[in-house]
Amino acid sequence: MKRLIIAMSGASGAIYGVRALQVLRAIPDVETHLVVSPSAQRTLMEETDVTWDQLKALADVLHNYKDIGASIASGSFRTEGMLVAPCSVKTLSSIAHCNSGDLIARAADVVLKERRRLVVMFRETPLHAGHIAVMDQATRNGAIIMPPVPGFYHRPKTIDDIINQSVGRALDLFGFDAGIVKRWTEADTSLDLSALTPTNRD
């Protein structure tokens, strides 16, 4: 069983975290550990039709945002790493400066100190010098900054096409082929997500 931490902070783009959880449920032997900030819960309500109960049901394990004694707060608890989707400026700043005041920041710091993979879907634009500085510092700490910037070579026809490509490419960085990426020069073998409801693993 491979474990992956999924964290959702309060930036716009809650659907990225939702979609990551949805597609990971279709990958055998992956155990997801979810942490959601209070601001992310509000953003989820504003931006999607996914309820809080539906989101919780997508994860194998749900951790309290304030529980810095959770399993994922310890380096001895083995994971493949952590995806922060979406990532707010506040969360990125905490990661960059090792400010472990909540479980998202603490788990991210653990992933970095254990030399595991931390992928951060930073959702902010335009950027000022402070944003660029914290991206630089987080990168120096070992994080991979991956803003969900859409590509267009795969000829997206819907918003879902754009979301799936971004999430699939993020999961690629952990070695998970989610079956939703349309790859350059390869035949289209994308996973059909039409039947993948928030609570349906198959």
74 belongs to an annotated ligand binding site: no
Q: In the chain, what are the domains? A: 2-174 (3.40.50.1950)
**Percentage of residues in the chain having pLDDT higher than 70:** 92
Supply the pLDDT for residue 106: 98
- Over residues 153-191, the pLDDT tens digits come to 999 999 999 999 999 999 999 999 989 999 888 766 556
Of 92-106, 119-133, 172-186, the least confident: 172-186
Supply the pLDDT for residue 202: 42
37 belongs to an annotated ligand binding site: yes
- DSSP-based three-state secondary structure for 41: helix
- Over residues 134-145, the pLDDT tens digits come to 999 999 999 999
123 belongs to an annotated ligand binding site: yes
Supply the pLDDT for residue 13: 98
106 belongs to an annotated ligand binding site: no
CA distances from 157 to 4, 5, 9, 154, 165 (A): 30, 30, 28, 9, 12
pTM for the full predicted model: 0.91
Decide if pLDDT at 198 tops 70. no
Phi, psi of 178 (to 5 degrees): -80, -5
